[in-house]
Amino acid sequence: MRHSLSAVLVMFSLCVSAAPQSPTSDELLMATTRADYDAPFTRNLAAFDCAVQFDWKQHFAETLGRLPPAAVPIADKLQSIKHRVAVDHTHATVSSIPERPDFSAGEHAAQLEQLEQVFTAMVSNGLNAWLPSSTNVILPVGKTQYSFEKLPSGYRLTMNGEDVAGTLLLSPDLRVTSGVMQLPQPIRFSTDFEAGPQGYVLASVTTGQTTDTSVGGEATFAYTYQSVDGEQIPDVVTVTPATTPKWHYSLTDCKVVKFVKVKVQSLPRH
């Protein structure tokens, strides 16, 4: 009898160790949080491509308070350049159509070259700042360890993993409101998420290059949205750098590329 009881206990312990573990409260809360966000690049969106609309004369008028006559020929030359931007889950790439003119010679060459470079940087930076929310990597991924702490104002989410360390603050409805990261690089940010048709979308994010909130140098990126083939992608992007004037551009003639799901059917046996 003793031997049979021991065998039963051994079998029971093996079954318990082999049984799948129930999700922890942190895992359940993370699954709920992740599902609340509209992250199109985590579904079947592969990429999108848009024309970039920007009004140089309006930009000069907003920056300088008026449009000086001397700025008109510069604005006209810059306006003649057409741009498109291609965005996938890793980065945004701006291209000129046709190829960008050679500004190395001619009147206002240095100004034209500099303004064109700044503009393309603003377009790519604005969309690159949107990518973390569109891929859901603002939340812990992979083997990153995390834990939620309930606060009167919502939740504190602490993350720790390989080359990742930081803390997020979330509102009671699980919208990320701010964060401080030590790794992969020191950075602080505050975010505003709005409800969209498929979940929370990023309305704005303000970033600083250090974790010290008393240090200035913050840049802000704001977004409105358009629906293209069922996907919510940026419509108007406003970039407010720390040291230069505000830039805002719109995305038109957008085309999305989606992953195709292939259904494999088994062949009948003969």
The most confident of 85-89, 106-110, 262-266, by mean pLDDT: 85-89
Alpha-carbon gap, residue 56 to 62, rounded angstroms: 10
Which tens digit of pLDDT belongs to each residue from 231-248? 999 999 999 998 878 999
- Mean pLDDT over 77-87 rounds to 94
The amino acid occupying position 67 is: L
Return the percentage of the chain with pLDDT > 70, whole number.
83
More confident residue, 143 or 223: 223
Q: Hey, what's the torsion of the CAs at 160, 162, 164, 166, to 10 degrees?
A: 20
Does the pLDDT at position 6 exceed 50? Answer: no
Alpha-carbon gap, residue 66 to 76, rounded angstroms: 16
pLDDT score at 102: 67
* pLDDT confidence band for 109 (50 / 70 / 90): confident
* pLDDT confidence band for 5 (50 / 70 / 90): very low
Does the pLDDT at position 202 exceed 70? Answer: yes
Length of the chain measured in residues: 270
Alpha-carbon gap, residue 183 to 169, rounded angstroms: 17
DSSP state of 55: -
Q: What are phi and psi of 113, to 5 degrees?
A: -60, -45
Helices (H), the chain: 2-18, 25-35, 56-64, 72-79, 109-128, 131-134
Does the pLDDT at position 192 exceed 50? Answer: yes
Mapped onto helix, strand or coil, the DSSP state of residue 195 is: strand
Please check whether residue 210 is in contact with residue 186, taking contact to mean a CB–CB distance below 8 angstroms.
yes
Return the percentage of the chain with pLDDT > 90, whole number.
66
pLDDT score at 108: 77
- Mean pLDDT over 239-268 rounds to 83
Neighbours of 64 (CB within 10 A): 11
| Torsion 199-195-41-33 (CA) sign | negative
Q: How far is C-alpha 30 from the chain's CA centre?
A: 19
pLDDT score at 204: 98
More confident residue, 128 or 242: 128
- Rounded to the nearest integer, the mean pLDDT of the chain is 86
* pLDDT confidence band for 18 (50 / 70 / 90): very low
- Mean pLDDT over 117-143 rounds to 94
Q: What's the pTM value of the predicted model, to 2 decimals?
A: 0.84
Residue 42, CB-side half-sphere exposure with 13 Å CA sphere = 18
- DSSP for 203-214, written as a single string: EEEEEESSS-TT
- Mean pLDDT over 151-158 rounds to 96
Exposure letters 104-139 (e unless 16+ CB within 10 A, then b): eeeeeeeebeebbeebbebbbbbbebbbbbbbbbbb
More confident residue, 51 or 264: 51
- Mean pLDDT over 210-220 rounds to 75
Mapped onto helix, strand or coil, the DSSP state of residue 237 is: strand
Alpha-carbon gap, residue 167 to 247, rounded angstroms: 30
Does the pLDDT at position 3 exceed 60? Answer: no
